[in-house]
Amino acid sequence: MLEIDRFALVSAMRRLSIEAGRAIMEVYARDDLGVRQKADTSPVTEADEAADAIISAGLRSEFSGVPLVTEEQSRTHSLAAKTFLIVDPLDGTKEFVKRRGDFTVNIALVEDGVPTLGVVYAPAKGRMFTTLAEGGVVEETGAFEIDQKGPEQSVSVSKPKQDALRVVASKSHRDQATDDYIDLYPVASTVSAGSSLKFCLVAVGEADFYPRLGPTMEWDTAAGQAVLTAAGGLVVDRDTHKPLGYGKPEFRNPHFLAFAPGVSLLTG
């Protein structure tokens, strides 16, 4: 079992996410975002690459014994470890390109296949969610200074009203199958949001249920899952209702459901 200083790691995650967020916002302020297509036709920008370089360098310098997986370098990895760091330096690139603001920096620690620590930072929204080394999760507000934390508030999921669920769904990846699945539940309201912010909205009690019936990768979900589970929520495989695990072949996730306890999931 790898020995990891959890307090040092949480501090480094916060600091690196802020540094990456500043680099992202510098590109965001430009007329030309430096957009091009990756081999899988998904977009990548100069901001993705700048944020990846900052986070990767910092984590490799300070936690060199912990395997590191990042979206922008995933093709170089053949991972056998069940404990590793996993990063999406700019989750929600489509939101970034469309200048919607719903994009995030995501850094997480996976231990024994479970995301246990994570930071989700939305620089354009001014929201940061950080798990604590001793357990729990906080939302930080303020100026997001590297050397000084702003005000922090502990957050936790709310108790859902089973006959009036508040659902959050993807902005850029929502499809008919997702809508049909949502329609099977008694829904009071539906909010569209981008990136891993959807996990965080459930974590802070602004939503009850986030079903994802489309393709995702582990770096898309690890930090958000760490935040949500630390706030008392759950993330499960849509078909088996077993916890969503990590270290899977090619880092591909099945369809999943993220929710506050009290949501009655459909079976079958």
Residue ranges of domains in the chain, CATH in brackets: 6-154 (3.30.540.10), 165-259 (3.40.190.80)
The predicted structure's pLDDT at residue 79: 64
* Secondary structure (3-state) at 175: coil
The predicted structure's pLDDT at residue 76: 45
Rg from Cα positions in the chain: 17
Higher pLDDT, 245 or 40: 245
Higher pLDDT, 31 or 43: 31
Asked whether the predicted pLDDT for residue 123 surpasses 80, the reply is yes
Run of H or E including 21: helix 6-28
What band does 28 get if pLDDT is binned at 50, 70 and 90? very high
Asked whether the predicted pLDDT for residue 239 surpasses 60, the reply is yes
Average pLDDT score over the chain: 93
Place of tokens 């993220």: 258
Asked whether the predicted pLDDT for residue 111 surpasses 50, the reply is yes
* Secondary structure (3-state) at 37: strand
- Which tokens belong to 46? 């100069």
Q: What are 135-187's pLDDT values in tens digits?
A: 999 999 999 999 999 999 999 999 999 999 999 998 766 778 889 999 999 99
- Which tokens belong to 104? 């995030």
Place of tokens 């949501």: 263
* Secondary structure (3-state) at 187: strand
% of the chain residues with pLDDT over 90: 82
The predicted structure's pLDDT at residue 36: 87
Residues in the chain: 268
pTM for this structure?
Answer: 0.95
